[in-house]
Amino acid sequence: MISDANGYPGFTGRERLVAAIDAAMGAADVGGTVARIEHALREAIADPAIVLPSCVHEPITDHYARRELYRSARHGYSIIAMTWGPGQGTPLHDHDGLWCVEGVWQGALRITPYRLREDRGDIARLQPLPGVDGTRGSAGNLIPPDEFHVLRNASDTELAISVHVYQRPMEHCTVFVPEAGQADWYRRESRQMQTDTP
C-alpha cells in the first residue's frame, strides 16, 4: 500500500492532486466534500502537469485492474486507479457504506446505478436506473445509501482508465448475484477487495 511518505513511481504531479483533495476534505458536509473532489478530479484530468504512472495504462487480461496510487495518513482517503480492458466491468456491487468520487481519465465508462427496493437480509430487490456514459474529463459520485451500481468499459476495443477517491480504503464490498427465477432479486455475497501490483 502507498502512504503519504512513499509516493508512487512515475506519478508526476501527484502533489497537485493530493493538495486539491486535502483542501476538499475541509468542507462542512459530505455533499460539499464530494463536490469539491469532483472539481479537483476534473481539473487534474485536464492538467498536463499531472501524469498517471505508466502501469495504469497496462490492462490485466482476466479482470479490471485496481492500483492504489495514494493513501492519506492525515485524512484517511484512498486514491485508486482502475484500468478497464475492452468490455471489462464490475458485477453489481456496493461500496461498503463509503462515499466515492470517480473521474474518467481515458476512454469511456458506462455507469448503471441501482435502487434498493426491498431488503430481506441475505437477498435484496434492486431496480436498475437509467445508465450514464462517463467520458474523459467527467466525474461523478456515490454517497450511501445510493451506492449500488455496475461499472463497465463502454468500448469493446479501447482501454479505459478511471481514478477513484474513496472515503477510506475499500477493503471489502457486497456483490449482488442474481437469484435464479426471481426477477430483480439478488443474493448478497461478501467480497474482499484486492489491489494489483504496479
Q: What is the DSSP string of 60-73?
A: BTTB-EEEEEEE-T
Give the Cα separation of 167 and 134 in Å (integer).
21
Q: What is the pTM of this model?
A: 0.94
Tell me how many domains the chain contains. Answer: 1
Within-domain flag for 102 = yes
**CATH, residue 128:** 2.60.120.10
26's CB contacts (< 8 A; 6+ apart) are: none
Find out whether 78 and 165 touch, Cβ atoms under 8 Å.
Answer: yes
Within-domain flag for 197 = no
Within-domain flag for 5 = no
Which residues of the chain have a pLDDT value below 70? Answer: 1-8, 198
Within-domain flag for 4 = no
Give the Cα separation of 188 and 38 in Å (integer).
30
How much of the chain, in percent, has pLDDT values that exceed 90? Answer: 93
Within-domain flag for 158 = yes
Q: Where are the alpha helices (DSSP H) in the chain?
A: 14-24, 30-46
Give the Cα separation of 121 and 187 in Å (integer).
9
pLDDT, tens digit, 9 for 90 and up, residues 113-126: 999 999 999 999 99
The residue segments making up the domain with residue 40 are 14-192
38's CB contacts (< 8 A; 6+ apart) are: 101, 103, 139, 140, 141
How much of the chain, in percent, has pLDDT values that exceed 70? Answer: 95
Within-domain flag for 198 = no
Residues in a beta bridge with 77: none
Within-domain flag for 145 = yes
Within-domain flag for 8 = no
